Chains A and B, each alone.
Chain A
Amino acid sequence: MNFLLIILLSSVFTVLFITFHLLFLYFFSFKKTIQILFCFVLSNLILIYFVRETELYKLFYNSFIINFAILILYWNVFLFIERGFTLSILSLFKKKRKLSYKELIKNYAGGKGVRWKLVIGLNRINQLKIIRLNKKILLTPLGRFLSIVLIFLRKILVIRDFG
């Protein structure tokens, strides 16, 4: 029975969370990361408020952990929709039905081009001081350490190739 109650609590959270996120996307224009986190906190607070005087309150701790997992999943899916490489290539055919290879490269991300995708990725890790970016790309000591961690994690999960 408790299993079902936790699933019920987390289902209510999911509905609240997605509804708030969509509303925030339409009515506010601040950073998307902050929007998602704010909606996560708000939905959990609403949930606590309504269950605080019931038996369900004891199960909220478990439900919160599941809600956190839902946040990770939702964030991942949202990033995939917004930034997914393969999905973006497919959505290039929105405006034009037939495209040459050069057009695919040039029109990527609303005309920014495929090179932009690499540059934005490099700038992101440059800001985190993982690489030093001048004319050449250089790994910083932090970058070297993180690379070792990433290689180790890839070995643990037996990831042999890149997708």
Chain B
Amino acid sequence: MYLYLISILFFLVTNYLVTTLIKKYTFVKFFIYVMTYFISINFINLIYLQNINFFTFQVLFSITVLFLYTGLYRSISVKIMIYLYLKKQNISVNDFYKKEFKDKSFNKRINILIYNNLIMQKNKIFFLSSKGKKYLKIIKIIHSIYGIKSSG
């Protein structure tokens, strides 16, 4: 039991230290951290402990933490709830859409796509880069496998 608790504490403390050391701690960096943690702790487990239950727990823990982080980091519903709680005032749907959603969610994602060289902008017109075209091909294949006509 202590082993499980210690491993969770170790994960959280190391995560805290990593966030203070690395600038702009994004989801990708967190994902790399979780993978590194998972591989190292199971490597130790395999050599010294050889505990199957601990291995099973680590698989479930790592995936749950990733799932939780994705929701807390990206979910629009979470963003709305935290915004309303911290501002301690009501807001109209239109105001929230203009001030928070369009600017801080939609525009931010477009900027991320531009920053990652997936789309390009010229004279207020957006178009795909060659990297973006490759990604779009992959998206088209995945969408056709799952029968998704329009995502969103």
Contact = CB atoms under 8 A, between A and B. Distances in A.
Interface of A: 2-3, 6, 22, 25-26, 59, 62, 65-66, 68-70, 72-73, 76, 78, 81-91, 93-94, 97-101, 104-105, 108-110, 112, 114-119, 121-122, 124-125, 130-131, 133, 135-139, 143-144, 146-148, 150-151, 153-154, 156-163
Contacts, number: 209
Given A83-B152, A109-B151, A125 B72 contact: no
Interface residues of B, number: 73
B26 to A, nearest CB: 7
**Across the A-B interface, the 5 shortest Cβ-Cβ residue pairs:** A109-B152, A110-B150, A147-B85, A136-B90, A69-B63
6 contacts: A81-B148, A87-B139, A88-B152, A89-B109, A98-B126, A150-B72
A118 B102 CA distance: 9
Given A90-B113, A110-B152, A81 B67 contact: no
A139 B127 contact: no
B25 A160 contact: yes
B92 A62 contact: no
A8 to B, nearest CB: 13
A63 to B, nearest CB: 8
B10 interface: no
B146 interface: yes
A72 B31 CA distance: 15
Contacts of A160: 19, 25
B150 A109 contact: yes
Given A99-B127, A109-B150, A158-B25, 14 more contacts: A73-B63, A76-B67, A90-B118, A93-B136, A112-B152, A114-B106, A133-B93, A136-B92, A143-B81, A147-B84, A150-B72, A158-B15, A158-B16, A161-B73
Interface in B58-86: 59-60, 62-70, 72-74, 76-82, 84-85
Contacts of A6: 52, 55-56
